[in-house]
Amino acid sequence: MHKKHHHKKKPSAVKKWSAKLHLWFGLSVGIIVFIVSLSGTLYVFKDEIQHVLRKDALELRKETVKGKPLSLEVLREKVTLELNEKYPISSVEIPLDKKKSYGFLYYKKDKKGWNYFQEVLINKQVYVNPYTGEILAVYNEKYDFFTLLKYIHWSLLLKADWGKYVVGIPVVLFIIMLITGIILWWPQNKKARKGRFWFNWKNVKTWKRKNYDLHNVLSFYASFIALLLCITGIYFTYPYVKNVFNLALSGSVDLPKEKDIKSPDSLTAKNNSVFDLTIQETSKRYPASSSFRIPLNGKNKKGKDLNNIPITVYQKEGRFSERNVLIFDKYSGQLLANKPHQNLNTAEKYSNANYDIHTGSYFGLFGKIIWFIAGLICTSLPVTGFMVWWGKRKKQGKKI
């Protein structure tokens, strides 16, 4: 009688090529994936940690909350004189909660700088008691731990214009690695399926097998969130990714362009209380919101002169997704336009929400916890993957 020989089923061409791409891309960009994943993971709970560390600066003492806040011009003058910085104050964030401080921001960039430290000339946050004018704290955000994490994650501390591609290209390759990883993970039969969903280490003694299982099992559970993190990340980097989202969500490649709104009042003399008028009107129109930001240097994010005062109103604390915009005449303080969140089209709403989705804050504390765990797994994948390859390499070396 002849013994039956069970031949192991050969992997398909798709799995063969998936294995090659997974290995090649992993070895080429693994270190960048590790750095980007780790920095992003550590950044997740930035708001919660800073709120604890900066509690005395963010929350006012009860005995100081009396009467009405001082004029914004008076507060700006106090901060300017006391800090005596080379650059003007960029903006102020005003909370609707009367028991919280105002946050004045100094921010200036140099387009000629080739790395983060040369590009960002100043980034300082000044917390002020609006009732007394007392400066509660000054934080040099340029060298803050979380700011550095953010720019490591965004551009590896290189110049933002091209550093984002140094990160963006590996992220695209990581997306391919996640897809090829799922293909390689996919079990060929029911028997193989058992060890793919959880660890079966009862009779396993070698670290190599345990490491392989860590790479294999954890990556499966994190891969779908990791894909979401990658796609929301490259949304910032590549305009064509944003265009695809815009087209899919609202039927147009481009978002509606912001019209430059002016009024006849712009020809008249400036009202010295213009900012106070905008604060009153904003507070009246959106009393249930968290805070709003007013530009004070007459410049937009790109450094171009503003023809009006655009005020961004944030509905929820720590969230950018639900925001409203009010446009005021910069001389008279007259309200020119009101753009509530609910009037935006789907693509505009998603554009505002993309950052919150990327950081997990869109889904609240639970979302942040899930994102943090997924980030830790993503951070581990280049390490466990390299160890799998190194173990096989040493094994092949012994055979030779």
- How much is the average pLDDT of 190-217? 70
Residue 178 pLDDT > 90, yes or no? Answer: yes
User: Which has the higher per-residue pLDDT, 230 or 199?
Assistant: 230
Q: Could you tell me the pLDDT band of residue 63, with boundaries at 50, 70 and 90? A: very high
Q: Could you tell me the pLDDT band of residue 210, with boundaries at 50, 70 and 90? A: confident
Q: For the chain, give every residue range classified as CATH 3.10.450.
A: 53-152, 265-344
Q: How many angstroms separate the CA atoms of 13 and 1, rounded?
A: 36
CA-wise closest residue to 311 among 347, 349, 351, 338? 338
Fold for the domain defined by 265-344:
Nuclear Transport Factor 2; Chain: A, (3.10.450)
Record the pTM: 0.89
Residue 5 pLDDT > 60, yes or no? Answer: no
Lowest mean pLDDT among 119-123, 164-168, 200-204, 355-359: 200-204
- How much is the average pLDDT of 93-103? 96
Please state, rounded to an integer, the average pLDDT across all residues of the chain.
Answer: 89
- How much is the average pLDDT of 304-312? 89
The strands making up 335-339's β-sheet, listed across from edge to edge, are 135-140, 120-128, 102-109, 91-95, 291-295, 309-314, 323-328, 335-339
3-state class of 189 per DSSP?
coil
Q: How many angstroms separate the CA atoms of 139 and 105, rounded?
A: 10
Place of tokens 């209380």: 273
344 with 336: CB under 8 angstroms?
no
- How much is the average pLDDT of 82-109? 96
Q: What percent of the chain has pLDDT over 90?
A: 70
pLDDT for 1 equals: 47
Of 163-172, 186-195, 262-271, 391-400, give the range with the top mean pLDDT: 163-172
Q: What percent of the chain has pLDDT over 70?
A: 88
User: Which has the higher per-residue pLDDT, 111 or 396?
Assistant: 111
Residue 352 pLDDT > 50, yes or no? Answer: yes
251 dihedral zone (left: phi>0; alpha: psi -120 to 50; beta): left
- How much is the average pLDDT of 86-91? 96
Rounded to 5°, the CA angle 111-117-121 comes to 60
Residue 2 pLDDT > 60, yes or no? Answer: no
Q: How many angstroms separate the CA atoms of 125 and 50, rounded?
A: 13
User: Which has the higher per-residue pLDDT, 12 or 7?
Assistant: 12
Domain 53-152 in CATH 1.20.58: no
Residue 212 pLDDT > 60, yes or no? Answer: yes
pLDDT for 7 equals: 54
User: Which has the higher per-residue pLDDT, 122 or 269?
Assistant: 122
Residue 355 pLDDT > 90, yes or no? Answer: yes
Residue 110 pLDDT > 70, yes or no? Answer: yes
Q: How many angstroms separate the CA atoms of 102 and 116, rounded?
A: 27
Looking at beta carbons, which pairs linking 286-290 to residues 24 or more positions away fall under 8 Å?
286/96, 286/313, 286/315, 286/324, 287/96, 288/96, 288/315, 289/96, 289/313, 289/314, 289/315, 289/324, 290/95, 290/96, 290/97, 290/314, 290/315, 290/316, 290/317, 290/319
- How much is the average pLDDT of 53-60? 96
pLDDT for 180 equals: 93
3-state class of 294 per DSSP?
strand
pLDDT for 197 equals: 66
Lowest mean pLDDT among 18-22, 100-104, 343-347, 356-360: 18-22
Residue 124 pLDDT > 60, yes or no? Answer: yes
pLDDT for 133 equals: 96
Residue 127 pLDDT > 70, yes or no? Answer: yes
